[in-house]
Amino acid sequence: MTCARKRIGIFGWGVVAPKSRNIEAFEKNLSSMGTWLTRFDGFGPNYFLTGQPDFEFSDYKPWIDERFEPRKFAQLDAKMGNMIKYAIGAFVQSLGQNPGIEKALQDLGQEAHIYVGTGLGDYAVQHEISINYDRAQRKWNRFWCQDAQHKILARYHQGDADRKEQIRQEYGAPDDPDQFPPDSDARDFAREAWNAFWLTHSDQLQKYLDELREVEGLSLEGDVDANKGHLIRKKAMSRKRLNMKYGCPDEPWTSVDPKLLWNIANIPGAQISMLGKITGPVVAPIAACSGFGTSLKLADNAIQLGLAKMAVVGMADPAPHPLTVAAFFGARVVSHDGEVSKPFTGMRGTHVAGGSCIWIVGDYDYCTSLGMKPVGLEILSVALTSDADHIITPSDDGQRAAMRRAMDDAGIQAKDVATWDMHATATPGDWTELQNAMSILPKSTALTARKGTFGHGMSVCGGWELTAQHLGLSQGKVHPIHVSTDELHEQIKAFEDVIVTDERLVDGTIAGKINMGVGGVNACVISKRWD
């Protein structure tokens, strides 16, 4: 006997996006603004456009202060990178649509799940900490490779050319940096390799480490709670005295901020759990550009299986960073001419963006029995497929399989689809995706693609695009994508009747949305306007 599918509704949502610090601004901007992209200043003068999130963490201080001790906000502000703060902000917003939803999530215990992840991780935090470590390590190496700290190098520098070559060959050392031209990059690189190699042969460093080992070997004695702080302070003071004795810089391992751990991929979801006091399982789905759809699928599965009644789903990405912008450029998928690259037009590339989108979804019957009202559209199905083909170029079969599976699971036919939002990244792949979509969809379907508006958040893009679709169709319309007919690529003009260049009213009730992620992961969502 097959159980009837539970109806899934959205009962809260929040957005942090370019030029949209909350869901209200996001909805307003869909109707009133063109592109939300701005000039990227990470490289100095350049022509990259990116989607910088409009965000102030202080907007959420009153909410946090009301629920936690006064120092909580300051701790979060100091230890969390912006990516996690975006997720916190969007989560707090999502609690605002239905009074009582916060308590409902808490009361459900193990039946309230969290599926919130990231596509990139917090590159800004990782980059800053990596640079600080690299500087500290090079400083450390230089110190212990001075002649005063290193008997072998002292003999090396006192010897003639033959003696130097003999020592270098004896130890298998790399090239002497002094053989390269002064002030050259080659000399600098060789010096770093030279110091890194000889560091392990420093006699003074070995003495230092032997003394340090005694310090670090101090064990906790007596009452654990009473004495643990004392032991930590004692070790720190002993290390400081030891460094003063040898005149050496701080050890490189002390330069790495533990924020590196506080900002890993599962922390957006973990912080939502801690701040929301939600005790059910927390999972951080990672599926690149298909991340939001993947998190929604996991939530849908849990609710259908009776494991959960409600779930917090979503994604968060860091603000555009030189590493991500350069990586997209190196992959030949980002635009760099100072002009907005819109889907269906010149296909010059996409634009990196950051922010967050959080939804609270739940069993419709359960949530409405508590007096909650749904926002957006009803979720009919979510389908996931893999291309098993190419890391960045989508396959025809993978995306079509996702579309067909989602429609089959939703119990609809292609002719029922009133509007369809594409993944379209303003790259040549748009043409292939459009042909695949129109091989399944009827010519009455209104097509949209929004990365020319707010850019490409690696994992959050699907959340923004779905939210925009839901905000429109719930009012019987489709928001424009700010592309004029004149701008369409010559091959795509054959489909200009189905591409929504201006705000359009729609008669149907079914919406479809696909995202295709790096690695060939596809997520397709079918939604329906509430009766």
What is 41-63 written as a DSSP string? -BTBS---EEB-B---GGGGHHH
Which residue matches tokens 């209104």? 446
CA dist 127 and 123 (Å) reads: 6
For residue 515, the surrounding DSSP H or E stretch is strand 510-517
Contact 500, 440 (CB under 8 A): no
Burial class for 333, CB neighbours closer than 10 Å (0-12, 13-18, 19+): buried
To 5 degrees, how large is the angle CA 272–CA 277–CA 279? 95
What is 459-481 written as a DSSP string? TTHHHHHHHHHHHHHTTTEE---
Residues of the chain with CATH 3.40.47.10: 8-122+263-528
Asked if residue 1 has pLDDT above 60, the reply is no
End-to-end CA distance of the chain: 27
Task: Quickly name the fold that domain 8-122+263-528 has.
Answer: Peroxisomal Thiolase; Chain A, domain 1 (3.40.47)
Residue 477 has φ and ψ, to the nearest 5°, of: -145, 170
| Distance from the Cα of residue 260 to its chain's centroid | 15
Q: Which positions ≥6 away from 54 have C-beta within 8 Å?
A: 16, 17, 18, 19, 20, 21, 25
CA dist 384 and 414 (Å) reads: 18
What number is the average pLDDT over the span 143-160? 97
Q: Amino acid identity, residue 329?
A: F
Asked if residue 34 has pLDDT above 90, the reply is no
| 262-313 confidence digits (pLDDT tens) | 999 999 999 999 999 999 999 999 999 999 999 999 999 999 999 999 999 9
| 338-396 confidence digits (pLDDT tens) | 999 999 999 999 999 999 999 999 999 999 999 999 999 999 999 999 999 999 888 89
Which residue matches tokens 């292939």? 432
CA dist 152 and 149 (Å) reads: 9
Q: CA 141, 143, 144, 147 torsion: positive or negative?
A: positive
Helices (H), 53-122: 61-67, 71-79, 82-94, 101-107
Question: What number of other Cβ atoms are within 10 A of residue 219's Cβ?
Answer: 5
Which residue matches tokens 């050496």? 248
pLDDT of residue 220: 85
What number is the average pLDDT over the span 194-201? 97
Which residue matches tokens 């089959």? 408
Tokens of 12: 């809260």
HSE toward the beta carbon, residue 438, CA cutoff 13 A: 18
HSE toward the beta carbon, residue 210, CA cutoff 13 A: 6
Which residue matches tokens 């928001």? 479
pLDDT of residue 2: 59
Q: Which positions ≥6 away from 65 have C-beta within 8 Å?
A: 72, 73
Q: How confident is the model at residue 218 (pLDDT cuts 50, 70, 90)?
A: confident
Q: How confident is the model at residue 503 (pLDDT cuts 50, 70, 90)?
A: confident
Contact 367, 374 (CB under 8 A): yes
Question: What number of other Cβ atoms are within 10 A of residue 466's Cβ?
Answer: 26
Neighbouring-strand partners of residue 10: 361, 375
Contact 361, 310 (CB under 8 A): yes
What's the mean pLDDT when you consider all of the chain?
Answer: 95
Tokens of 71: 């120092």
What number is the average pLDDT over the span 122-142? 97
Q: Which positions ≥6 away from 356 have C-beta within 8 Å?
A: 14, 15, 16, 53, 83, 86, 87, 89, 90, 268, 314, 315, 316, 317, 460, 463
Q: How confident is the model at residue 45 (pLDDT cuts 50, 70, 90)?
A: very high
Q: How confident is the model at residue 224 (pLDDT cuts 50, 70, 90)?
A: confident
**DSSP helix/strand/coil, 368:** helix
| 95-109 confidence digits (pLDDT tens) | 999 999 999 999 999
What number is the average pLDDT over the span 23-27? 97
| 421-431 confidence digits (pLDDT tens) | 999 999 999 99
The residue among 381, 399, 382 whose CA lies nearest residue 390 is 399
Asked if residue 323 has pLDDT above 70, the reply is yes
